[in-house]
Each structure stands twice: as structure tokens, then as C-alpha cells.
Amino acid sequence: MTEADSPSLSSLLDRTRIVLVETSHPGNIGAAARAMKTMGLRHLVLVKPKRFPAAEATARASGADNLLVAARVVDSLPEAVADCGLVFGTTARPRYLDLAITPPREAAEFAAQEAGEAPIAIVFGREQTGLTNEELLCCQRAIRIPTDASFSSLNLAQAVQICAYEWRLAAQTGSLPGPAEAELPATAAELAGLVDHAKRAMVRVDFFKPERPKRLPDRLARLVGGAHLRHTEVQILRGFLTAVEEALDEAGAP
Ligand code: SAH
């Protein structure tokens, strides 16, 4: 942040965290921190980094090592994004499950306008293999940086740089007033709770058979993740599921 940064600029950038999943090369972690700091992003979360802290990370951070010192290291992606109202997964592939894929500019504008006051995460995958399908199901939207069709995979820190730059531009353009309290987006933890609750209720009415799950769990997670549900909407659906469970209890159903 510089003295000239406006409150709306710092608000979007302050609410956004960069999450790096199982990064192999500590140099990439340092370079990502540098990319973030140049654009005014500060919050770095590392999911099971292969080597960290590491001298190579500090060297490549070139003065952004305060972000490395403050970085949170966690064991899983759900833990990294539990409190986020908006989670973007990044991918070099043109298609990822059925997630809506947008370029970073559109994603940043969406974040600036739709996320209210909620924390936002942008998730980056492993250098070799990217994000797993399960990890992508923790994300509500996917970001793909447009590239030449024959060579689409950027270096991890360079992908962070481009997204961070777009976040800064969107923040500078100024965000619309955020949604009212009741309109706040549901957090990732609330969405995961809704999916679990729906599965439990589905088992009880014999709609979902855990021993033969087929694609239902994935599709359900995608449906809930992609619906852009508000906090209050999740509460309505959880209330409905609880009423179904109570009715089954009263009827003496197993
Ligand atoms: N072979 C991997 C590429 C990994 S590149 C794959 O198929 O996904 C390491 C990470 O950098 C990716 O997981 C993603 O987070 C980011 N990245 C690389 N190129 C990207 C692009 N064109 N758009 C968005 N993110 C990209």
C-alpha cells in the first residue's frame, strides 16, 4: 500500500488472499510473494509446501520477505478458504469440470462488485499437475489466463502476477457499494456444510447410496458452488433439510 491508495483499493486487496497448493519450488513461493507485494496484495496462504521456509524463497522474494514471514501454512485447501465468500481456482486448461471459466479481468471485476466484505481467495495449483478435481470443487469459479492455444501453462509466479495486476486494476476502478448484510455471499465452509447436509438427507430418503456414489457428490458440490448462494439462502436450504429430517424422525424412518 502507498499513501495514495484509496480506501476502496485497499479494501479489495486487503480482503484477497493468494493460496498456493503444494508448491514444489520454494523459489516460486518467493517470486509469488514479490508479485503480490508489487500489486498491494499481502495475504499469502501455503497449503503443504514441499520446502518452506527456504533461503531460495527469501532470495526470490527480493524484499517481499515480510509476506513470507506472515504467510499461513495449512494442511488442506478447505482449511485455507473456509471463511471465504468467493473462491477462484486458476487453471491453464481450457475446460475444468463444468466450472464457469473467466479471464482474470472479468474475475477481478466480479470480485470487486459481488463479494461484499467477504474474504476472497485465488487458488494456484502445483507446478507439474495444477489443482486436483477435488480441490477445484472447493472453488466457485475458475480463472484462466488467455494464452496461445498450443502453449497455455505459465510459470506459477507469473500467473500470480497477472491475476494480482488485474485485481489492482479492478480495485482502482472502484467497486460498487457492497451487498447489504443479508445479501452476503455464503462462505466456503457454509457451502461445504450444505453439501454434507444434503447428502445426509439424500441417504435417508434412499436417493443417494454412498456405496454407489457415481458422480452425485461431485455434481452436487459443483451445483452448490456454482449457484453463487447467499448466506441467507444457505440458511433456508439447511432449514428445509432439517425439517425433512425431523419429518422422517417423526415417521420413525431409519
Ligand atoms: N500442467 C498444469 C499446469 C500447472 S502450472 C495443469 O495442467 O494445470 C502451475 C499453476 O499456475 C496452475 O495450477 C495455475 O494455478 C497457474 N497457471 C499456469 N498457467 C495458467 C493459465 N494460463 N491460466 C491460469 N492459471 C495458470
**Ligand 1 atom closest to residue 147's alpha carbon, by position in its atom list:** 22
The whole-angstrom separation of Cα 10 and Cα 13 is 5
**Cell digits for 91?**
487453471
β-partners of residue 16 are: 120
Q: Give how far Cα 191 sits from Cα of 86, 87, 138, 185, 249, Å.
A: 11, 11, 9, 10, 25
SS3 content of the chain, % helix, strand, coil (to 5): 50, 15, 35
Higher pLDDT, 226 or 4: 226
Pocket test for ligand 1, best of 20, 25, 91, 101 (most atoms within 8 A of CB): 91
Length of the chain: 254
> Model-level pTM greater than 0.85?
no
Q: What residue owns the CA closest to ligand 1's atom 8?
A: 130
Percentage, residues of the chain above pLDDT 70: 91
Query: What DSSP designation does 151 have?
Result: B
Q: What is the pLDDT of residue 248?
A: 94
Instruction: Tell me the average pLDDT across 188-210.
Output: 94
pLDDT, one tens digit per residue, over 121-164 is 999 999 999 999 889 889 999 999 999 999 999 999 999 999 99
Please tell me the predicted confidence (pLDDT) of residue 97.
65
The average pLDDT across 2-20 equals 78
Among 23, 154, 158, 162, which is best to mutate for testing ligand 1, by the most ligand atoms less than 8 A from CB? 154
Lowest pLDDT segment from 40-44, 45-49, 60-64, 110-114: 110-114
Are 56 and 27 spatial neighbours (Cβ–Cβ below 8 Å)? yes
> What would the grid cell of residue 8 be?
476502496
State residue 21's pLDDT score: 98
Average pLDDT score over residue span 53-74: 97
Q: Among the listed ranges 109-113, 179-183, 249-253, which one has the minimum average pLDDT value?
A: 179-183
Q: Are 36 and 6 in contact (CB under 8 A)?
A: no
Check pLDDT > 90 for residue 114.
Answer: no
Centroid of ligand 1 to alpha carbon of 39 (angstroms): 20
C-alpha cell at position 167: 485485481
Domains and CATH numbers, the chain: 3-173 (3.40.1280.10), 188-250 (1.10.8)
Please say whether the beta carbons of 108 and 170 come within 8 A. Answer: yes
* pLDDT for the residue 1: 46
* Residues 83-97, mean pLDDT to the nearest whole number: 87
- From 9-18, 178-187, 202-211, 212-221, the region with the lowest mean pLDDT: 178-187
Q: Comparing 140 with 10, which gets the higher pLDDT?
A: 140
In sign, the C-alpha dihedral spanning 245, 248, 252, 254 is negative
Q: What is the mean pLDDT of residues 57-84?
A: 97
